Amino acid sequence: MTQQVLTDEENKNRQVDAKLFTVGPAQMYQHTLEVRRHIVPYFRTPEFSKLMLENKEMLLETMDAADDCEVMFLTASGSGAMEATVMNCFDKEDKLLIISGGTFGERFEKICEIHSIPFTALKLGHDEELTETHLEAYENQGFTGLLVNLHETYTGQLYNVEMLHRYCERNKMFFIVDAISTFLCDEYHMKKYGIDATIISSQKGLCLSPGLSLVVLSRRIIEEKILRNQITSLYFDFKDYLLNIKRGQTPFTPCVGVLFELNDMLRHIIQLGGSEKRVEEVKKRCDYFRKKICGLPVHLPSFPLSNAITPIRFEKDIAMEFFAYLKDEKNIMVNPVGGELGKCSIRVAHIGELCFDDYDILIEEMKHFFQM
């Protein structure tokens, strides 16, 4: 058996503040770290219920959601929330269209396969932009719902929400959006675009600890789907969450600490002037970085990009080497890419508490690596 125990030195170093240019966990804000210092309290109390109801109100405001939406507070990573949403909203009688332009789109396909929900995948190549022309083939085909990862984090493509909204409206489909890596990074309006379910996760745009995922549901999908569906799951039955949230509670022990972090973060965002202000902040970092990498031997894909990350493509297959160099020599983490694209591509996130100086350091390292 190999030696798995960390040396004292490794143990000391493993959490020493690396700079995180990763999309999640992201570089946390100082005020979140302050919240994390405190003891996690007991939660079946009126005080905690109040915090939860406040969380719900602030989230609906930040997401531009209708007042009669409900929020499911799930203690699960984003994929758990994706699965729970599909299970609760659809069944064998449905016919879903999945925009599948990368590994997150493929995850929706897998979920539907496991739960025997009929679907068709609209497959996109790694450099292919989703357009109206793609959707034309899927008009009036009896689809009941659309599943999309609005920002497909694998490639970095940000799909056109307005185009998808119009398509769903024309075809009278439920519109389910995994907004995990676009919420708080790009503009997001749940009500305006007729979105029936929005899935987000604590460790991405919110820059909190992992463990909390939120599903915001429209009144329409609650009444027409969720309350009518019988599902075979104890932990993920939304009907139970709907009952409990009325009194500001969840059916099971939630990630109490992350819910305190959420309360603090939403208050900060609202004080800042709302989600547009946070999006501006992210966009500034994003624009700064993209402008400064012009002239380096890299290129970006040509489809529309989210402000959350910059998907850098190198001219040679050096991505893994560059990733390891930054991690091991500089304590800087960028996001590697799995699968096929991984050899020549890394992603640099703009969502955490990073400043222009941090990006300058990263760019200097890129230059050093390319010996420019």
Number of residues near ligand PLP (by CB under 6 A): 12
Judged by CB under 6 A, the residue of 32, 100, 149, 157 near ligand PLP is 149
Taken as a whole, the chain contains a residue count of 372
Cβ proximity to ligand PLP, 35 vs 158, nearer residue: 158
Taking CB under 6 A as the criterion, the residue among 21, 78, 248, 319 binding ligand PLP is 78
Residues 167-196 that bind ligand PLP (CB under 6 A): 178, 180-181
Q: Give the residue from 193, 197, 142 showing the smallest Cα distance to 171.
A: 142
Q: Binding ligand PLP by CB under 6 A: which of 49, 54, 66, 77?
A: 77
Per-residue binding letters, 104-143, with ligand PLP (x by CB under 6 A)? x---------------------------------------
Point out which span in 43-51, 72-80, 124-132, 248-256 binds ligand PLP (CB under 6 A).
72-80
Residue 103 in contact with ligand PLP, rule: CB under 6 A: no
E-strand stretches of 76-211: 96-100, 119-123, 145-149, 151-152, 157-158, 174-178, 197-201
Chosen residue from 88, 144, 201, 306 binding ligand PLP by CB under 6 A: 201
Separation between Cα atoms, residue 212 and residue 75, nearest integer Å: 5
The region of 54-62, 73-81, 169-177, 236-244 touching ligand PLP under the rule CB under 6 A is 73-81
Kindly give the pairing relationship between strand 19-21 and strand 332-336. parallel
Question: Measured from the CB of residue 162, what is the shortest distance to ligand PLP in angstroms?
Answer: 19
Q: Give least dist CB 88 to ligand PLP, A.
A: 17
Whole-number minimum distance, CB 186 to ligand PLP, in Å?
A: 12
Q: What distance in Å separates the CA atoms of residue 164 and residue 126, rounded to the nearest whole number?
A: 19
Quote the CA–CA distance of 155 and 176 in Å, as a whole number. 20
Q: For residues 77 and 160, which CB has a smaller minimum distance to ligand PLP in the complex?
A: 77
79 binds ligand PLP (CB under 6 A): yes
| Binding window for ligand PLP (CB under 6 A); candidates: 76-84, 128-136, 184-192, 258-266 | 76-84
Q: Which two tokens stand for residue 34?
A: 């302050």
Least gap, CB of 24 to ligand PLP (angstroms): 5
In angstroms, what CA-CA distances link 217 with 78, 208, 223, 262, 330?
16, 22, 10, 19, 43
Positions of E strands within 179-306 = 197-201, 212-217, 298-299
Strands (E), the chain: 19-21, 70-75, 96-100, 119-123, 145-149, 151-152, 157-158, 174-178, 197-201, 212-217, 298-299, 309-314, 332-336, 345-349
- Provide the CB-side half-sphere exposure for 52 (13 A, CA): 26
Q: How many CB atoms lie within 10 A of CB 264?
A: 17
Q: Is residue 101 involved in binding ligand PLP (CB under 6 A)?
A: no
Least spacing, CB of residue 323 vs ligand PLP, in Å: 18
Contact 303, 67 (CB under 8 A): no
Task: Tell me which residues touch ligand PLP (CB under 6 A).
Answer: 24, 77-79, 104, 149, 153, 178, 180-181, 201, 204
